Structure 1
Amino acid sequence: MRRSFLLAFRGGGGAVGCADCFLGKERREMRILSGIQPSGKLHIGNYFGMMRPALELQKQGDAYLFIANYHALTSVADAEALRQGTRDVALDFLACGLDPERTAFYRQSDLPEVHELAWLLSNVTPLGLLERCHSYKDKLAKGIAPNHGLLAYPVLMAADILIVQSNVVPVGKDQKQHVEVTRDIAIKFNNT
């Protein structure tokens, strides 16, 4: 099964974002962000669906690839499994060709600024906006007990995107709405 990607572009202007380029180089035209949850063993679908496209994009601009270990907390309750999954994802990315000289590669939990920004963004994010997200409603329909992490997932994703001032975010169709929510949250924040 071939997975299609949507490339979300965010224009310049008064963007919410505070981190400068990790790479210590002059910023290039494209700033790409992509993340993967360490929620299980990686498989061929992960490689063709996320890893390979992300590794190709590292050649085209400033690439920020991260292990979304805080996002994974919505589905992984075992701390040791999360730690091991995080190590496995890091090793798999390096084995598949991630270039640490060209790409900022990090664990989401290593950037406290992401979580600080998520908190600030959460204070301008309408609850109804989050409750209307398809992924939230789908998980409720599957009987997954709602919690704050599940509901606030799009706000944390918005912080991930905005903190590095990304203008290219390759996502699957299931995440397209979260990129749109990011836009809405950024507009509301910048007008507050």
Structure 2
Amino acid sequence: MEITLTGITTTGAPHLGNYVGAILPAIEASRRQDVQSFYFLADYHALVKCQDPALVHRSRLEVAATWLALGLEVDNVIFYAQTDIPEILELTWILTCVTAKGLMNRAHAYKAAVAENLADPDKDPDKAVTMGLFSYPILMAADILMFKASKVPVGKDQTQHLEMARDIAARFNYLYGEHFVLPEAVVDEKASVLVGLDGRKMSKSYGNTIPLFEPEKALRKLIMRIKTNSLPPEAPKDPDTCTLFQIYQAFATADESAAIRQRYAQGIGWGEMKQVLFEYLNARLTEPRQRYQELLEKPDHIEQILKHGAARAREYSVPFLHQLRRAVGIRPLGG
């Protein structure tokens, strides 16, 4: 059976861009019966960027509640927290010992940090660069290789990590025999990349996001802040260059989008379109928002679901790590 794996980084509450770009396709995929899917909270990864314990703790709860509220089929997939699988960290060290530093030097996040540092007057390339930032592609490789995932859905900006995981796996297989499956990136070319409040890509790093389960009044307030141009209400408008339409289209059916596109051609005021978008999103999100709030009040219930998923995941990771340890020579002295 084909094995797929999806990681969800726990760095803040998910936003609309996360939903249409990654969460919705993954939720739909979780209903498939012909694959074994692993979904995990990448909470060790969160430590690379966040040193606020309260935020990390809260985000773990919020992200897990989000996926459950939106209908993740936990009986059909293995849903767990990365931190509940100790074998992943041991595998990370084993893989670190076969990974070339030159490979890590080429990681996009590390190169971006160095480039930013070199632009500063003091020219210190390693300023604020932790070993977590430098080597986290190895942890990501361990996440994937531990469960022999052959398909890993990722965004275009994550394909390098899959290439690195393949390189690391191939090096290990060359040294110690064929143990790892070489994973393939699955990039959904049709996946929407939403624009945020300021016209740039919706991203927490830009501070321009619309949180997925924002309360009704706060949701309306944020939508009213979305940047538009100065065309008057009666003027025809191009929906394909409009953030409001892009967000609407990501959630709407083809017929609904076509109807709104026609209203753009006829002329629609920005205030009216913002109200249309708010009402549509609010209606779509009201029920999952309510489920989300109910789940936040039941952290023990969520913890139980994650522990159950971890127990199932360790049915794979424990024997496989035992096999890998023997492969590298760590086995009983008498055998």
Aligned Cα root-mean-square deviation (Å): 1.2
| Separation in 2, partners of 1:118, 1:53 | 28
Partner of 2:83: 109
* 1:163 equivalent in alignment to 2:146: yes
The CA deviation at 1:31 is: 1.0
Describe the superposition over 1:119-170 as per-residue Cα deviations: whole angstroms up to 9, x where unpaired: 1000000001001111221233344721110111110000000111111101
- 8 Å Cα contact 1:32-1:57 kept in structure 2: no
Q: Of residues 110, 122, 130 in structure 2, which corresponds to 1:136?
A: 110
Moved more, 161-170 or 133-142: 133-142
Identity %: 44
SS of aligned partner of 1:65: strand
Scaled by the length of structure 2, what TM-score is found? 0.48
Partner of 2:15: 43
Partner of 2:286: none
1:37 corresponds to which letter in structure 2? T
Which runs of structure 2 are paired with 1:60-71 in the superposition (5 Å)? 60=32, 61-71=35-45
1:173 corresponds to which letter in structure 2? K
| Separation in 1, partners of 2:26, 2:148 | 17
| Separation in 2, partners of 1:145, 1:53 | 35
* 1:97 equivalent in alignment to 2:71: yes
| Separation in 1, partners of 2:21, 2:107 | 22
Q: Of residues 79, 84, 96 in structure 2, which corresponds to 1:122?
A: 96
2:48 corresponds to which letter in structure 1? T
Distance 1:38 1:96, change over 3 A: same
| Separation in 2, partners of 1:71, 1:59 | 26
| Separation in 1, partners of 2:82, 2:89 | 9
1:50 corresponds to which letter in structure 2? A
Scaled by the length of structure 1, what TM-score is found? 0.82
The CA deviation at 1:80 is: 1.3
Q: Flag the structure with higher helix content.
A: 2
- 8 Å Cα contact 1:158-1:181 kept in structure 2: yes
Q: Which structure has the greater CA radius of gyration?
A: 2
1:178 corresponds to which letter in structure 2? H
Q: Flag the structure with higher strand content.
A: 1
Partner of 1:149: 132
| Separation in 2, partners of 1:77, 1:135 | 18
Unaligned runs of 5+ in 2: 118-126, 176-335
| Separation in 1, partners of 2:60, 2:107 | 27
| Separation in 2, partners of 1:40, 1:58 | 23
| Separation in 2, partners of 1:167, 1:157 | 14
The CA deviation at 1:190 is: 1.1
| Separation in 2, partners of 1:174, 1:146 | 20
- 8 Å Cα contact 2:31-2:73 kept in structure 1: no
Partner of 2:2: 30
Unaligned runs of 5+ in 1: 1-28
Q: Of residues 19, 22, 30 in structure 2, which corresponds to 1:58?
A: 30
Partner of 1:172: 155
- 8 Å Cα contact 1:37-1:71 kept in structure 2: yes
Describe the superposition over 1:6-38 as per-residue Cα deviations: whole angstroms up to 9, x where unpaired: xxxxxxxxxxxxxxxxxxxxxxx2211011111
